[in-house]
Amino acid sequence: MQIAPVSGALGAEITGVDLSADLSNQQAADVHAAFLRHHVLFFRGQSMSPQQQMSFTRVFGEPALYPFIQGMPDAPEVIEIVKTESDIANFGGSWHSDTAYMPEPALGTVLQALEVPDAGGDTLFANTGAAYRALSDGMRRLVDGLVGVNSSENGYGGSRARGMSRLSAMKGAFNPVAESYESEHPIVRTHPESGIKGLYVSRSHTVRFKDMTAEESKPLIEYLTSHITSPEFTCRFRWQPGSVAVWDNRVTQHFALNDYAGKRRHMRRVTIKGDRPF
């Protein structure tokens, strides 16, 4: 097994491992260590059944149910994400950290590509720890004490489930446990395993700061989210059939590009159970 960084900011590609087979204890330990070091891992040429994808997910934590999409009948933690040739909107088309609106947001995500366009549909990733470290001392003192109010409805103009069901191939899959979610989390989050501090704020989910209005909060939210996604904190992944990405939501954000109109993209995703940010 070989591990090669893909950028100076974050990300590494791992070769020489078959994710459809159970990893040895040493392989699992090496993959998990790389996950903590590089924050997002990429694999090529893989083919996993839903059960095998769930087994691989357990290298990082326990698979969790996604709150807005019904999973596969024999693997409820695995959801299918499909954008057809006729769809305009896509899934995940803004900078965000998965399920930040939940009381215990996702630790991470395992995404496998089944069908992808010949060009387009890349995913961008940002290192929120590097973004925090690059702030001035004065700005760090300001954000260290802020708490963000995160909502599943932010940017959707109503029910998130109804908005996401615009994807034609997924209309029957939307089965929310609740209509909406709202949770408060620190803007500066401490990684529970590495101790890294990172910015935990996004246009997609952060409505405002606690004890402040949305209007008062917006300028700083805009600044921080633009800062997080500066090119020097990012990497970009081009998908192929059989590609797999695993990212750490506690210290990254991601953005699925929607630049493949008229083409089909089919992915399978497992969310990893997380804990309350601190």
Enzyme catalytic residues: 96, 98, 254, 269
What residues have CB less than 8 Å from 219, skipping those under 6 apart? none
61 torsion bin: left (phi>0), alpha (psi -120 to 50), beta (else): left
Q: What's the burial of 72, exposed, middle or buried (CB within 10 Å: 0-12/13-18/19+)?
A: middle
Backbone angles phi, psi at 167, to 5 degrees: -70, 115
Q: What share of the chain is helix, strand, coil (3-state, %, to 5)?
A: 25, 30, 50
CA–CA separation, 248 and 227 (whole Å): 19
